[in-house]
Chain A
Amino acid sequence: MLIVRTVAHRQLVVRTCALAMKAGVKPGMTLAHARALLPAHPMAHQEADEPCVHEHDPQRDRQSLARLARWATRFAPKVQPDGEDGLLMDVTGCAHLYQGEQKLITQLIQALAQLKFTALVAIAPTFGAAWALAHHGDPHRRIIDRLDQIPAALSPLPVEALRLDEETADNLREVAVRHIGQLLSIPRRLLPSRFSEDLMLRIDQALGLAMETIDPMRVPQAVIAQRSFEGPVRDAKTIALATRQLLDDFTQKLHQLESGVLSLQMTLHRYEADVVLIPLSVSRPTRDARHLWQLLSPHLERANVGHGVEMLELRAISVAKVAHHQLHHPQWSTCDGAAPMNEAISEQERARLMDVLVHRLGPDHVTQLEPMESHLPERAARLVPVDHPPLTSPARITSHDRPTQLFDSPEPIAVHALTPDGPVSLVQWRGQSLRVESCRGPERLTSQWWREPTGSRDYFAVRLHTGLHLWLFRDARSCRWFAHGWWA
């Protein structure tokens, strides 16, 4: 797999998988060069002839790294994303929980491997030394126990291990300083005049002579509410009452955080049986206990409580800040007596209604019309779920004189005219012969020729002797007639 970035019409490799790396592909190569190298590798032919190529998305990478940082807080309380592909963790006081630093590293690497991440991990008294060891150190020697061991441990490593910028590293190499040991042997007073201040700072940070702190990822506070019974409870009313009280506690906690829940999970801990999980999600963050109960209660009624429930738990899976809004004041009523609702409250009401409808009927049964770029009536709009992201296309439904209803699909209809190409005088439709009293048209509508060569249609509005107005069309290619809608 290759991650590429387009620079001035050239696709350059940014990252490679281990397989491609083995084949000789390196970051900075052009994609064409990388492709030329890959087929030569025997593994490249096993799964696919072409390597899997993805466009580099730095924003998505940052988001993934932030998620990984949050995940890593299970090993250490303070974790900060570092650069594009690193994490800095403050494991002070954590090692004894894993029976030593070596076991902590082992467990961390194993846990990351389960997430399909290959990790280089090192532990040292300073962040700078740990970074140097992790990136450039010996894979079998990843731990520095004490501060005074740092100079000896870093000496054989290249100067880049001090997190220097490229220009400083080049300047050092020009004067034949390639390793940290060589750099440390130079008297400190000579360095500032030849190199940047940044070099001194990086050396001091690595050796522990300068303070370095991290800005840890703030993990959102878990919102959990629990209620235990003295014994297993099977009575539905009792469970419902306890759930409503639980929801009050739950929403109170959300209120303190000025947040609302987007998705939550209710857990029923059953006596001598597996737990029952009830996941729930809403379209907008809410802390309205009544609304949540409205969504939860149908699931609760259907839940199998077995021999009884011992404990109920509500856990917020995803929370978001709830915007403050001005409450509606009655003096803002309009003069005609209508009650204009505050926009924010109206939005909340709308979201509540959609949530309840979608939860009971399903997302496919609660839909909205989305305009499409087509002149053909049946393709001018499509039904999408209400939570569907808005289409970016500039298509708009233009209001025309159109029938009030369109049939699901055009219905074949037999048409008779007194003269060839003359006005329609009789139609046979749905097993009946119907006299046409008036006919208006044609209006020619054409499909998108670049997508499908279906040709054009000539539409007519006809009035039947029964009073019904039908919308007919003649397909220009097949010359067949269809009824497509009516004014009713």
Chain B
Amino acid sequence: MKLPREQLEALSQRLREVSQAWRPEGEEDAKAVATAAGLLPRRRLHEWLGVTSPLKTEEPQGRAERTIWVPAMAMLMEGAIKAWSSGGGLVIWIGSAVWPYGASLPAAVIGDSVMVQTQSMADRVWAIDLALRSKAVTAVIADGSGLTLPATRRLQLAAEAGRALALLARPSHEMKQRSAAAYRWLVRHGRSAGEGGEGGQFSRDRPCWSVELLRGKEGRLMNGSVVEGATSGSERLNVTWPSQAARGLVEWHHGQGLISLPAVVGSTTATAQKQFA
């Protein structure tokens, strides 16, 4: 019996759907999930170092100055919002150092946010591990200051076992600490274009950060893919990502109260320019 071409194509399409649907949940491609979650891969540990200490506490003479740690909250919040937008779920904020101000988050995200406070480092690592493994969690934003290499290794494994976007905030002075995190980002306060910055249409009175990808264990991250003026036409994105660099500027948009990351994670194109909607 000879089937019509349309029926054969429909059958072929159906088989593809079924075979794709039966793929074990744990094997879903991290890259594909990343696209829906602000271009950051899920099931990988992201360390956000910074923001580079803008203030120093003056200690008595003869003693070193003690810097104040300011977590890169704008980046962490944006990651959480994007992860939540791609399918809902719980957003867990572990450690009061990374608790956001509620009014700067969308109300729907606040409804699904849980603030966790821990008394000891062991409790903190345990709570992050537990949250990362839970299927109900879409993003974990945690205070990662003082984490040891074994702790980060444990958390990286926990992240791979779950489905959440794992974001750890660490002070920039811990940059030399060894870590098993798959990605490391450095955030500094940026300078706007009019002040001899790194390009773009930044105004003087907007918060601006320089974001640099320090490490990507996927092996194809440091190719220097380009996002220039990403998502043009969208007012809330003010991003400049120069070509041939793993570094770019992100600006807060006062009108929307939001930012977006131009992370080029997962891109295999070495020099091409891409626009992400």
Contact = CB atoms under 8 A, between A and B. Distances in A.
B55 A438 contact: no
Contact of A340 (B73, B87, B99, B104): B87
Contacts of B51: 468, 488
B28 interface: yes
B205 A438 contact: yes
A357 B127 contact: yes
A11 B42 CA distance: 62
A349 B136 contact: yes
A336 B25 CA distance: 12
B4 interface: no
Interface residues of A, number: 62
Interface in B36-88: 36, 51, 54-58, 68, 70-74, 77, 86-87
A154 B140 CA distance: 74
A297 to B, nearest CB: 13
B114 interface: yes
B125 interface: no
B252 interface: yes
A180 B4 CA distance: 92
Interface string B18-46: 10111101001100110110000000000
Contact of B107 (A396, A468, A486, A487): A396
A361 B123 contact: yes
A334 B17 CA distance: 10
Contacts of A236: none
A379 to B, nearest CB: 11
Given A336-B36, A487-B74, A398 B116 contact: no
Contact of B103 (A336, A368, A377, A431): A377
Contacts of A431: 57-58
A405 B100 contact: yes
Contacts of A388: none
A404 B137 CA distance: 22
Contacts, number: 180
A352 interface: yes
B102 interface: yes
A398 B127 CA distance: 30
Contacts of B25: 339
A397 B108 CA distance: 9
Contacts of A345: 135
Interface in B189-243: 189-191, 204-205, 207-208
Interface stretch (A132-140, A246-254, A458-466): A458-466
B269 interface: no
Interface string A391-403: 0000011111111
A403 B130 contact: no
A380 B74 contact: no
A366 B114 contact: yes
Given A467-B189, A488-B51, A397 B36 contact: no
A5 to B, nearest CB: 39
Contact of B136 (A331, A350, A367): A350
Contacts of B205: 438-440, 461, 463
B36 A338 contact: yes
Interface string B114-130: 11111100010011001
A333 B32 CA distance: 13
A88 B225 CA distance: 81
B17 A331 contact: yes
Nearest to B73: A404
A469 B71 CA distance: 13
Contacts of A349: 134-136
A353 interface: yes
Contacts of A356: 130
B54 A464 contact: yes
B70 A486 contact: yes
B17 A361 contact: no
A17 to B, nearest CB: 46
B71 A488 contact: yes
Contacts of A377: 101, 103
B260 interface: no
Contacts of A330: 21-23
Interface string A425-441: 00000111000011110
Nearest to A429: B55
A91 interface: no
Q: Which 6 residue pairs across A and B have the least CB separation, nearest first?
A: A467-B189, A349-B136, A466-B54, A404-B73, A487-B207, A438-B205
